[in-house]
């Protein structure tokens, strides 16, 4: 990215984005410097407001919630057309996901392990493994895929979501 290019907020965490914004602003304005506090003081996210554009991590967790929920409600016995549509959905999604590094990574993943669209269980398990691939890359703990329907469809066995 050149120093004049507007940083992509959905491609990085808020702090990195704020730092890049400042660099762009400084390079455009020359001597006019914004104080670090102006941008960084917002601290661990988007400040007090709730209605700000998403950064990479907010977009990520909201998107995973949608994808896992969609997989949870996929038919147990999908038609040929539903299988093809779901397969196309993931391929198209991977081209337009706004975090470009994430999207490129997903496109590679899809080539290696295409969506398993044979049933709800197969799709949810496949998506769980894809998500775990990202977790692993980011140094996060892997999720136990046996629990995926409790997490995204039925609620926990102990009744804590009832
Ligand atoms: C398709 C995609 C690709 C991404 N690629 C990248 C990338 O390359 N680099 C990057 O920095 N960020 C990437 N992200 C963002 C990243 O995965 C996280 O969303 C982000 O770091 C926020 O993490 P989080 O801790 O809020 O939990 P998230 O990983 O967003 O998870 C949200 C919730 O899902 C549940 N969960 C966790 N793992 C699984 C699983 N395997 N199966 C089912 N449920 C699970 C947990 O309850 C968790 O709280 C990507 C996001 C998406 C949607």
**How does pLDDT run across 17-64, given as a tens digit for each residue?**
888 888 888 887 764 444 444 444 444 455 578 899 999 999 999 999
Predicted model pTM: 0.87
Ligand 1 mean position to 116 CA, how many Å? 19
The pLDDT value given to residue 35: 46
Rounded to an integer, the average pLDDT of 128-136 is 98
Mean pLDDT, the chain, as a whole number?
89
> How far is the centre of ligand 1, averaged over its atoms, from the C-alpha of 131 (Å)?
6
Which residues have CB under 6 Å of ligand 1?
A: 56-57, 60-61, 63-64, 68, 97, 101-102, 105-106, 128, 131-132, 134-135, 138, 143, 148, 151
| Alpha carbon of 32 to ligand 1 centroid (Å) | 38
pLDDT reported for residue 110: 97
Ligand 1 centroid to residue 31 C-alpha, Å: 40
- Could you tell me if 117 and 123 are in contact, meaning their C-beta atoms sit under 8 angstroms apart? yes
Out of 46-50, 55-59, 139-143, 149-153, which region has the weakest mean confidence (pLDDT)?
46-50
- Let me know: does 106 contact 67? Beta carbons within 8 Å: no
| Spatial CB neighbours of 131, under 8 Å, sequence gap ≥ 6 | 64, 68, 143
pLDDT for residue 2 is more than 90? no
pLDDT recorded at residue 23: 87
pLDDT for the residue numbered 37 = 45
Instruction: Please give the C-alpha separations between residue 62 and each of 29, 39, 58, 79, 82, in angstroms, as whole numbers.
Output: 36, 24, 6, 28, 24
Position 6 scores a pLDDT of 84
Q: Residue 70: is its pLDDT beyond 60?
A: yes
Percent of the chain whose pLDDT exceeds 70:
86
Q: Which of 57, 60, 156 to mutate to test the pocket of ligand 1 (most atoms within 8 A of CB)?
A: 60
Q: For ligand 1, atom 48, which residue shows the shortest CA distance?
A: 61
């Amino acid at each position: 990215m050149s120093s004049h290019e507007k940083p992509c907020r959905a491609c990085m965490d808020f702090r990195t984005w704020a730092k890049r914004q400042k660099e762009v602003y400084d390079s455009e304005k020359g001597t006019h410097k914004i104080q670090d506090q102006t941008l960084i003081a917002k601290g661990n996210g988007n400040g007090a407001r709730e209605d700000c554009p998403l950064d990479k991590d907010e977009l990520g967790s909201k998107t995973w919630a949608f994808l896992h929920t969609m997989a949870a409600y996929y038919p147990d016995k999908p038609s040929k057309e539903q299988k093809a549509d779901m397969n196309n959905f993931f391929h198209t999604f991977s081209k337009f996901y706004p975090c470009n590094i994430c999207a490129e990574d997903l496109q590679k993943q899809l080539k290696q392990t295409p969506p398993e669209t044979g049933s709800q269980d197969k799709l949810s398990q496949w998506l769980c493994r894809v998500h775990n691939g990202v977790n692993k890359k980011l140094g996060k703990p892997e999720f136990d895929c046996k629990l995926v329907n409790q997490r995204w469809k039925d609620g926990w066995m102990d009744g804590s979501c009832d």
